[in-house]
Every structure is written in C-alpha cells, then in structure tokens.
Structure 1
Amino acid sequence: MIINRSLSSSLSNKERFGSLKSLVLFVVIAILATSNTYAQASFETIDGLRYLIDSDAKTATLTANNGDQKYSGDIVVPEKVKASDGVEYPVTAFADNAFNNCKGLKSITIPSSVTSLGMSCFSASGLTSITIPYSVTSLGNDCFHSCDALTSITIPSSVTSLGDYCFSYSGLTSITIPSSVTSLGKSCFEWCRGLTSITIPSSVTSLGNSCFSGCSGLTSITIPSSVTSLGEGCFSGCPGLTSITIPSSVTSLGDYCFSGCI
C-alpha cells in the first residue's frame, strides 16, 4: 500500500507539472498571438482622418476620431492612404460610429474602394448630402439614424438590403430605392415625418416591423406584388395615409399594421 501511495503521489505530481507546463505554454502562445495582432493592425491619423491600418490584410478602415474631437465640414476620403510604413493601403470600409454625432459634418465624398458603411456610421450627424458609390454593398443598422438635415438620398444598385433603423428619424423627404434591394429592415424609415411618398421596387419581398411607423407625411403607397407580408406596426402612426394598394401576394398583416391611420 505504501508503494502504491508513493507511486500515486509521484504520478499526481507529474500530472500537476504537466498541467502547469500546458498552462504556461498556453499563456505564452496567447501573448505572442496578441502581440502579432497588434503588430498587424494599428491606428494612424492621416490628413486629419483616423484609420485602422491592417498591414496583414493590406487595408485601411476609416474610424471615429479620438476623444471628443469630431469630424466636421466637407470631407473627401481618398481611395488610398500612405501609412507610416511607406505602404499605400486602399480604404475599404467605414467603421461603426465613424461619423456618429458629428454635428458639424456637412458632406462627404466616399471613394469607390469602400464596400461597406458600418452600424451608426453617420447616425445623428449634421450630414446634408452624400453620394454612395456603386462599390458599397451594405448599409449597416442605424446607418443614417437621426440625420435631421439629410433630406434626400440615392442608393446605388449594388446595395441589396437596408439595415434595421437605417433611416429612422432622419429628415428624408424623398428616396430612390434600387431594384437590387430585396428587404427593408425593421423600423427602416420609422418617424421620417417629411417622407410624403415612396416607391418600393418589385424586388422587395418583405417590409420589416414598424418599417414606416410614424411617417406622418406619407399619404399614399403602392406595395408591389413581390411582397408577401407586412410586419407588425408596419404603417402604424401614419395619420396622413389615405390610400394603399395591397396586392394579392400578401398573405399576412402584422399586428397593429395600420394602427393610428385615422
């Protein structure tokens, strides 16, 4: 029994030592991996704009400015930026919140190298005009949320969907939706009070919950035969709506779909 206990104790110590070695090795690998990640991606301010430079992916992402310093005025974003390592990186995306709450922002020129605009990218900014290039394929959730001064926008045919709350509470009075768009996200145009009419292309198959809720200026709308369902509260709180054409393709109307349409 004594021999067995000794052997058991010896094995136990070996197991503990082995586990400790594994833990130390894991920590070392994690530290090295983190170091490599930060070595490959770093923030740089170039010509007044802040970018995340990814030397591994060879791309640059425009990000929000440091601290309370907000972007303002008329901004032209270049297709490529030259980083401190002397390499030119294409600007491929605008990060989440890149221009969020930039009240002094007036207009922006987006290069054709950009493919996506992040969540809340221009939310609550002072943006008055914008041209979205055909390279952009997606507009993030809340992308233009609360852009009071933005009254009109043309979406390129490269975009296939509009994210949740994409234009909610904005100053839109008119918008052109291309036939490439297949869905309008939840609350996509919620509380766009200045929106008086909108043409939904025949490519759209669904209208999200509260899609046009609170659009008090909306007087009429035609829903294409491609649409099969209207989400909950889709047109709720639209007192100016006097006529609507619902095609036979629609098989369900969400709860409170026309609530408050007096």
Structure 2
Amino acid sequence: MIILAATPIGNLGDASRRLIEVLENAEVVVAEDTRTTGRLLQALQITNRPRLIALHDHNEKQKSAELAALAVEQDIVVVSDAGMPAISDPGYALVAEAVAQGVTVTAIPGPSAVIMALAISGLPTDRFTFEGFLPRKPGERRSTLRGLATEPRTMVFFESPARLASALADIGTVFGDDRRIAVCRELTKFYEEVRRGTAAELAEWAAAGVKGEIVVVVEGAPPRESSAEDALVQVQRLVASGVRLKEACAEVAAATGLSSRDLYQAALAAR
C-alpha cells in the first residue's frame, strides 16, 4: 500500500508515535526532498535506513506509475518536507495513479498548517476553502482574487513573506480594506505569531518586512446585497482594481441578478 505520512510543520514534538513507528519499519520512503527527510530521520532518532526516493514537482508525473507499481509489492511511505503530502505538496499524482491501479492508499494524520491557522484565526471555521498560493504576478493575483470576491466561506492561503505585503494590499483593493484577516507566521515554532486586523492594517504592518512561513486566513464575503446602489459600489470597486467596466457590470449582474445594461448605464452616469 501507499502510506501518506504527515510530518511536523516546525516543532519536532508534533511527530506522532505512529509516524515514528512507520518510519522505523519502512523499507521505502518517497520524499519531496531526500536531504530534508534524511535530516528528519536523524532528528527523530530513527535508526532504520530506508531506501529514499525523490518525488517532487519536476518528476511526479513520470515517477507515479513506477511507484504505484512498486506499492503492489511492498508498502511505500510518502512524506513531504512538512505537513501532509498531496496538500499543496507532491503526492496527488501518485495517489491518483495508485487509485487507478487499484493500490490501497491510507494516511497517518498529523500537523496541518491550514487547519491550525484556521482554528486560531478567530474567523468562522464552520465552512472554509483552501486556495493554496496566490499567483506571483500582480495582474494574475488580482484576477484570482476577483474570482473570490463574493466567496462567503473563510479563505485560507499560503504566501511568501516577500510577497505578503503586496498580496494583502491586493486583497484590500479587491475585497475591501475592511475585510478581516489573520496572518499566521512560523506556526508551531519558537517565533510563532498571529496578527489579526483588517486588510489595510495588515498590509501596512507587512510593508516593513516579514520573515518565516506564512498562512493567511481571510474572512468570507458578507451576504450579497441586490440593491442597485450596493451593486454600483461593487462595480466601481472592481473597476478601480483594474477590471474593464463592461466585465465588472457582467460579474456583478451575475452575482446579484440585476441587469448588466442598467449597471453599465448607472456607472457611466456616476462618473
């Protein structure tokens, strides 16, 4: 079978007894980075020396069929550098191939930056969506955010510390500067920190520079209003963020049920 094994996201004390037991008995460990996994085995005082096979973004498609076939003969433990494999990390293609080949897939649950950040954010946790990393390029990032502007569920993102300030600024531009956010930094580590505030407040804070691994939790959109005045405000906000007027009217019309033509005429009259 294939065993997806969650590893600590920072604090080694979060390694479960099951994880240690499986690693102690594993013959084959498939790792996102074999060097990182080698250091983890050493840090956890694992005396076993399994065969380490690299599986990363650049070779996953090519290696998955081979590894799934190998898992027919023996158990394969799959780990990423931190957290659960296949969740914004290599592993999905391998699991899909294993399922297609009829190979059993199971998992050893453990640390999750997504769930931990959501739990401590102070934002609604009953319904949420994980969106991974936002695009690097500003234009693509704003386009992605515009697609999420009316998402009512709490949203969770990963972000690079180098892009955090610009990402928060774009969230404020597209979602509104008053949208509530929690920025979770270095989770489970010595310098763990959670900053809570509005998009505008946190963008200003992040502009000074932030270090570490970042998870951003964003409040979902409030219930959509269908009044013409509120819809016009939504159109104007989208236009201010770079969307063409006709496209902004079509997007808001689809969300509110109002006439795109009427919104267009109202937007022109309000200029």
The bucket for the TM-score relative to the shorter chain is: under 0.3
Q: Relative contact order, CA 8 A, sep 6+: which one is greater?
A: 2
Q: TM-score, normalised by structure 1?
A: 0.25
Greater Rg by CA: 1
Q: TM-score, normalised by structure 2?
A: 0.24
